[in-house]
Amino acid sequence: MTVRGLRAGAARVPLDPPLGGPMMGYGARQGVARGVRDPLYARALYLAGRDDCVWLELDLCLLARTQADAVRWRVAERTGVPPARVLVACTHTHSGPETGLFAALGGAPTPPAAARLLDAAVEAAARARASAGPARLGVGRGEAHIGRNRRRADGPVDPEVLVVRVDREDGAPLAVLYVHGCHPTALGSDNLEYSADWPAAASRAVEAALPGALGLFALGAHGDVDPRTRGLLDFAAPGQSVGVSYEETEALGREVGEAAARAALAVEPVRDAPVRVASGAVAVPVHGAERGAEARREALAEARRRAQEALGLRPDEDPDVSGWFARISERTAGLAPAEARPRIAAARRYLRDRTAPHFAGGLAPSVPVQVLALGEARFAALPAEPTVDVGLDWRARLGGAPGAVLGIANGWLRYLPHPRNFAEPDADLRYEIAMSTFVPDAALQLLDAAAALLPADTFL
């Protein structure tokens, strides 16, 4: 079924985080924000076809689920769009402000400076809705090659840049939504200026090529993909969070932006493009909880024993998380990488499993899944950092139709590797596995749930 009468509106509102505040993205960063390299924004796209929806992209690193849910409800109050049809996503810049994530995970209110960032997001959504008028929409594809797999030198990378072009009724560009799967981490822990990283330059390139359009970057399946300016991610290699220059960062962004612009310019938007949104949830166990609470306690005790043994700690020595990281640093300093790596990994696996319920909100929390159909494109929005294999799996399920997995959408529950990532040799030595929250088949459970929302007779 197609519905004529597409309407759309777009808006952006500056986030304007204060200088002198803490930044988010790197544990190794020393110091507070000293300047602004490029402005940070909340960008919103409102679309109304058979359904209406709001797509929000924030130049922030991470938000907790409770924070994203609060924004969704506030947007609903301002716009009339149901919360289930509001998408709140982060571009995942590692050069943005502190968002109050850990306070929110602990049940504390979002700090005032971070709360103002969320206020800007709600305002952007309201402005996009208020500005809506007759529109046209089309979907295009391009390629950019700025990323590399950070787990394995021969690991997969998805170069696709998926584009949704939205025009006003008279054909003037209104917005270009573009999706690509690569961490915005060209700038490193040594950077103390606010920046959206390479997506800032990408959006500028899109907006220069299509005057009048708002460029909205959406993060795809990126969990194990870094800019090619970085090497393999290794627990035992020091100084890996040091970044490259602003000039190199800009060059990476222009590559993506120019690819997105070429794809958008080749699109012929149509008036009757469908807009549909469907939402669901899946109860997914955290690591060790699939066999029940008692089995998980036993597995956690064994993981703790192995971590203590790896670092030479006493059986009664079980500090808090920061204490464990201090022990990791102390007990592996000066070791050869081949010796340090498994010791660090053993301790990180224990911390992963110990903290998983805290990040997830329980032993088998209900994890939200949101699917959006914009024209012929199909997006699966997940509140985690999916690896590239998760994105490729979703595309395979679409049978050639355009689509993408969206990461860090409606919250953050750490990393989401594909089951085949868990099955790789030395998988436990990889950062993405050590930073995951759920059982190895979690990605399949979530993709299955998303696919179940797609039957043509109920979705379109």
Q: What is the pLDDT of residue 238?
A: 85
Q: Among residues of the chain, what percentage have pLDDT more than 90?
A: 95
Mean pLDDT calculated for residue range 428-453 = 97
Residues 223-246 pLDDT 10s: 999 999 999 999 998 889 999 999
CA angle, corner 278, sides to 274 and 283, nearest 5?
160
Mean pLDDT calculated for residue range 347-371 = 97
Q: What is the pLDDT of residue 278?
A: 96
335-368 burial: b if 16+ Cβ within 10 Å, else e: eeeeebbbbbbbbbbbbbbbbbbebbbebbbebb
Q: Determine contact, residues 201/254, Cβ cutoff 8 Å.
A: yes
What is the residue type of 318? D
Give, for 72, the enclosing helix (H) or strand (E): helix 65-79
Q: What is the pLDDT of residue 454?
A: 83
Mean pLDDT calculated for residue range 414-440 = 97
Closest CA to 97 of 65, 144, 137, 62: 62
Q: What is the pLDDT of residue 88?
A: 98
Dist. CA 162–CA 380, nearest whole Å:
13
Residue 1: pLDDT band (50, 70, 90) is: very low
Q: Determine contact, residues 91/60, Cβ cutoff 8 Å.
A: yes
Dist. CA 408–CA 447, nearest whole Å:
15
Tell the burial category of 19 from Cβ atoms under 10 Å away from its Cβ (0-12, 13-18, 19+): middle
What is the residue type of 287? H
Q: Determine contact, residues 53/410, Cβ cutoff 8 Å.
A: no
Mean pLDDT calculated for residue range 147-159 = 96
Mean pLDDT calculated for residue range 42-56 = 97
Dist. CA 345–CA 426, nearest whole Å:
10
Dist. CA 145–CA 225, nearest whole Å:
11
Say which residues have a Cβ less than 8 Å from residue 238's Cβ, sequence separation at least 6: none
Mean pLDDT calculated for residue range 131-145 = 98
Dist. CA 441–CA 284, nearest whole Å:
9
Asked if residue 200 has pLDDT above 70, the reply is yes
Tokens describing residue 24? 């988010």
Residues 319-335 pLDDT 10s: 999 999 999 999 999 99
pTM, two decimals, is 0.96
Dist. CA 404–CA 160, nearest whole Å:
9
Q: Determine contact, residues 183/62, Cβ cutoff 8 Å.
A: no
What is the residue type of 278? A
Q: What is the pLDDT of residue 140?
A: 98
Dist. CA 298–CA 282, nearest whole Å:
25
Tell the burial category of 413 from Cβ atoms under 10 Å away from its Cβ (0-12, 13-18, 19+): buried
Strands in 169-237 per DSSP E: 173-180, 193-194, 214-219, 225-227
Interhelix angle 246-265/198-209, rounded to 10 degrees, is: 40
Closest CA to 63 of 103, 32, 35: 103
Give, for 349, the enclosing helix (H) or strand (E): helix 337-360
- Beta strands 377-381 and 403-406 are parallel
Asked if residue 455 has pLDDT above 70, the reply is no
- Beta strands 403-406 and 225-227 are unpaired
What dihedral do alpha carbons 235, 239, 241, 242 form, nearest 10°?
-160
What is the residue type of 70? A
Q: What is the pLDDT of residue 2?
A: 39
> At which residue do the structure tokens 């998760």 appear?
390
Least confident of 78-82, 174-178, 456-460: 456-460
Q: What is the pLDDT of residue 458?
A: 53
Tokens describing residue 458? 């109920």
For the chain, domain boundaries: 7-280+365-459, 289-360
Residue 3: pLDDT band (50, 70, 90) is: very low
